[in-house]
Amino acid sequence: MLYKPEEIVEVRNARLDTIYEEGKDWVVEDGRLWFPPQSRVPITRIEEMFPEENREGWVQKRVGGGYSLFSEGRFFHDKQVVVSYKCRKTSRYRAIGAPEAACPKRTAAKLANAEPLNLLVFGDSIAEGANASGKTGAAPFMPTWGEQVSAILEETYGSKIAYKNGSVGGITSEGGLRIVDRVLEDLAPDVAIIAFGMNDGTSKVAPDQYAANISAIMKRVENVNGAADFILVAPMLANPDTFFSGNQAEYADVLRDLASASGGRAAVADMTAVHRELLKYKNYADLTGNNVNHPNDFLIRCYAQVLLSLIMGRGEEENVSNR
C-alpha cells in the first residue's frame, strides 16, 4: 500500500466482484497486508515473476539474465487486488500528484465559461489506453485516462467536449510527427494533450531530438488552430528489470523547456516524477498492466488525476488514489 493504513475498509480483487475476508484471506501486520496459506487472494511467486526459461509470448529478457513475466490483456489485472483504507494525510500524501503548473489560460477560460472545447489526446499505447480494464473487456471496465479527463471536464464545467484520441500503440514521437496531419484532419484542437516518450526512451532517442519532434507536432497543431493550448505528458517509467527501460526519465526537463518557451500556452504533466515517487513505496508489478511498460487501472487513474489537477487547479490533496 502507498500509505500506512490506520484502518482497512475493504479488500477486493481488481475486478471488484470478490470481497476478501479479514483473518481468512488477509491480515495486517505493521501496516502491511499478509495473505495466509488458505487465502483466496491470487498469489504470484517470485519464481513465476522471474522465470529461468523462455516462454514464447509470456516473458521478456531480464537485465542480468533470465526472464521477466510479461503479458498483455487482463492477465496481470486478474492477479491484482484493490485495498480501500483510511490513512493520515502526511507531507508525502500532498506531494504525489501535485500539479507543478497552471492550466493554460485559454483552456481555463473556455471551461470557466462553459464554452465548447475540442480536446485531443495524441501519443503512444499508454495514451491509447492499453491495459485499461475497459479496453481489455475486464470488470470494472475502467475507461482510458483520456476518456476520464474528457468526461469529468464535461460534467464539472458543462462544456461540450469534442474528444478525439489519435494515439497509436508502439510509436515514438518521430512516428507521431509522421501521422499527426492525418490525426488533425477532422479536429482542430483547443487543447492537445501530447503524450509520447515510453518508446522513445526504449529506443534511447536523445532528449534534444525528442524535444524537436514534440515541438514539430505542436507546430502542426498550431497550423489548424493558432490559439491551441498544450499539455505535455512526461512518460511513466519502464520496468527496470527489462530492456524496455532506457532514457525515459530524461524527457521531463526538455518538456519543461518547451512549456517555458510557449508563452503560457503549454504545461507539463510530469508522470515520470509521479511514477518514480510511487515506486519508492510500491513494486513495479503493483502499478503495471503488462509488467513492462503499460500502467494498470490504478496508475491510469493517477494519469487522469494529475491531468485533472492541472486543468482544474485543484489542491493536490484531492489528487491521490489510495490503494
pLDDT tens sequence across 42-65: 999 999 999 999 999 999 999 999
Q: How far is CA 47 from CA 43, 51, 52, 77, 126, in A?
A: 12, 5, 8, 19, 28
**288 and 206 within one domain:** yes
Q: What is the pLDDT of residue 319?
A: 38
Residue 35 lies in a domain: yes
Residue 194 lies in a domain: yes
Q: What is the pLDDT of residue 88?
A: 86
Residue 167 grid cell: 494515439
Last residue of a domain, one of 93, 113, 135: 93
User: What is the side-by-side order of every strand in the sheet holding 161-165?
Assistant: 161-165, 117-123, 191-195, 229-234, 266-270
The Cα–Cα gap between 76 and 74 comes to 6
**314 and 202 within one domain:** yes
Residue 1 lies in a domain: no
Residues 230 and 261 sit within 8 Å (Cβ to Cβ): no
Residue 286 backbone dihedrals phi, psi, to 5 degrees: -75, -15
**133 and 75 within one domain:** no
Alpha helices in 12-168 (DSSP H): 46-49, 91-95, 105-112, 125-128, 133-136, 145-157
The number of angstroms, rounded, from the C-alpha of 77 to the middle of its chain's C-alpha atoms is: 15
Residue 257 grid cell: 523547456
Give the H/E segment covering residue 31.
none
Residue 182 lies in a domain: yes
Q: Is 304 buried (19+), middle (13-18) or exposed (0-12) by CB count in 10 A?
A: buried
Amino acid in position 260: S
Residue 2 lies in a domain: no
**36 and 108 within one domain:** no
Last residue of a domain, one of 93, 127, 151: 93
The Cα–Cα gap between 28 and 308 comes to 33
List the beta bridge partners of residue 13.
81
**245 and 112 within one domain:** yes
Residue 303 backbone dihedrals phi, psi, to 5 degrees: -55, -50
**139 and 36 within one domain:** no
Q: What is the pLDDT of residue 315?
A: 40
Residue 323 lies in a domain: no
Give the H/E segment covering residue 198.
helix 198-202
Q: What is the pLDDT of residue 93?
A: 52
Residue 22 lies in a domain: yes
Q: What is the pLDDT of residue 30?
A: 87
Q: What is the pLDDT of residue 31?
A: 85
Give the H/E segment covering residue 89.
none
Mean pLDDT, 10 residues at a time, over the chain (323 residues)?
92 98 96 94 96 95 97 97 91 59 90 98 99 98 99 98 99 99 98 99 99 99 98 98 98 98 96 96 97 99 96 56 42
Give me the CATH number covering residue 177: 3.40.50.1110
**276 and 131 within one domain:** yes
Domains in the chain, number: 2
Residue 284 backbone dihedrals phi, psi, to 5 degrees: -55, -40
Q: What is the pLDDT of residue 314?
A: 54
**248 and 166 within one domain:** yes
3-state secondary structure of 257: helix
**43 and 14 within one domain:** yes
Residues 125 and 42 sit within 8 Å (Cβ to Cβ): no
Residue 122 lies in a domain: yes
3-state secondary structure of 87: coil
**87 and 52 within one domain:** yes
Q: What is the pLDDT of residue 322?
A: 40
Q: What is the pLDDT of residue 268?
A: 96
Domain that holds residue 12: 7-93
**123 and 86 within one domain:** no
Last residue of a domain, one of 93, 112, 134: 93
**258 and 113 within one domain:** yes
What pTM does this model have? 0.94
The number of angstroms, rounded, from the C-alpha of 72 to the middle of its chain's C-alpha atoms is: 16
Give the H/E segment covering residue 161.
strand 161-165
What lies within 8 Å, CB to CB, of 218 at 6+ separation is 192, 194, 230, 258, 266
